[in-house]
Amino acid sequence: MATAQLTAFSISVSARNLSSFEGLRPSNVKFASSFKPLVGVGLPLFRRSFQGLVVKAATVVAPKYTSITPLGDRVLVKIKTVEEKTEGGILLPSSAQSKPQGGEVVAVGEGKTIGKAKLDISVKTGTQVVYSKYAGTEVEFDGSNHLILKEDDIVGILETDDIKDLKPLNDRVFIKVAEAEEKTAGGLLLTEATKEKPSIGTVIAVGPGPLDEEGNRKALSVSPGNTVLYSKYAGNDFKGSDGSNYIALRASDVMAILS
């Protein structure tokens, strides 16, 4: 009898049921991998846990192709190079390098049609933009990483190296997040891990608004300077050069104006 010993439980496997494997002899086999049983099924099923594993390979464009032309309302962005060192010159491991969310527009599509209106892409080639964290399809082209994404996935235009200068597009709202509470109501100091993520902040800038069926912009209901309450898990988070926290989200994720 060959016995397979697994973490937290064991199952017995009969060698007679494995006769198709020539040379198999009864023995004790130990598995070091952390298999977990799926609860609530008739037969023992297992799954292996790969915590923190994210695989997102870029599509490689062969050198014989010399250009990429986006279609419709899509935009081709050359991704900003990842910082490999800290400001102090310390080399960062790849796991500690923050994924870039910005780059330069290198090509745009012909635009889109809303109702009877034909609208051009609102960003031009050469513009530095910031986009949603998980947007688009990554491609490796001409020795550099690029991203093909829809215009609506572009959060805003950033002409400097400081995120506080972001100019939101369309229905996006850019907010400076309020400081998290340092103490509980009873006066106990909170650690960084126990501080509740704020969902209140001050509006820094707003986009021109969404387009209606006639192709006209509809102004947003919030303005710079408003203190707002927004959905807790919405938008894209950013850290300013001064250490302040910012968030860019859609106007529909703003729930109320506080006064």
Q: What is the mean pLDDT of residues 190-200?
A: 61
Per-residue pLDDT tens for 152-182? 999 999 999 899 999 999 999 999 999 865 5
At 37, list the tokens: 């049983």
pLDDT in tens, 39-71: 544 444 444 444 444 445 788 988 899 899 999
* Higher-pLDDT residue of 61, 193: 61
pLDDT band at 82 (very low <50, low <70, confident <90, very high): low
CB 226 within 8 A of CB 251: no
Integer Cα distance of 92 and 85 in angstroms: 5
State the sign of the Cα–Cα–Cα–Cα dihedral 150, 151, 155, 158.
positive
| Structure tokens given for 90 | 């310390």
Residue 93 pLDDT greater than 90, yes or no? no
Q: Which two tokens stand for residue 51?
A: 């915590």
Could you read off the pLDDT of 212-255 as tens digits, one per residue?
877 788 999 999 999 999 998 889 999 998 889 999 999 999 99
Closest CA to 243 of 171, 163, 181: 163
Tokens of 255: 């729930």
**What are the pLDDT digits (tens) for 107-164?**
999 998 887 788 899 999 999 999 998 889 999 998 899 999 999 999 999 999 899 9
Q: What pLDDT is attached to residue 157?
A: 97
Q: How confident is the model at residue 99 (pLDDT cuts 50, 70, 90)?
A: low
Report the range of poorest mean pLDDT among 86-100, 184-198, 218-232: 86-100
Say how many Å lie between the first and final Cα of the chain, rounded.
74
- Residue 123: name the closest of 165, 159, 151 by CA: 151
Among candidate residues 190, 176, 180, 193, the one with its CA nearest the CA of residue 228: 176
Flag whether pLDDT at 7 surpasses 50. Answer: no
Q: How far apart are CA 56 and CA 140, in angstroms?
A: 12
DSSP state letter for 211: B
Report the share of the chain in percent with pLDDT over 90. Answer: 46
Write down the pLDDT at residue 182.
53
Please state, as a whole number, how many other Cβ atoms lie within 10 Å of the Cβ of residue 6.
17
> What is residue 89's predicted lDDT score, i.e. its pLDDT?
52
Is a pLDDT exceeding 50 seen at residue 2? no
pTM: 0.68
Which of 141, 170, 142 has the alpha carbon at shortest distance from 249? 170
pLDDT band at 185 (very low <50, low <70, confident <90, very high): low
Per the CB < 8 A criterion, the answer to whether 174 and 166 are in contact is yes
Average pLDDT of span 16-25: 42
Return the amino acid letter for 27: S
Percent of the chain at pLDDT above 70? 63
**d(Cα 242, Cα 53) in Å, to the nearest integer?**
32
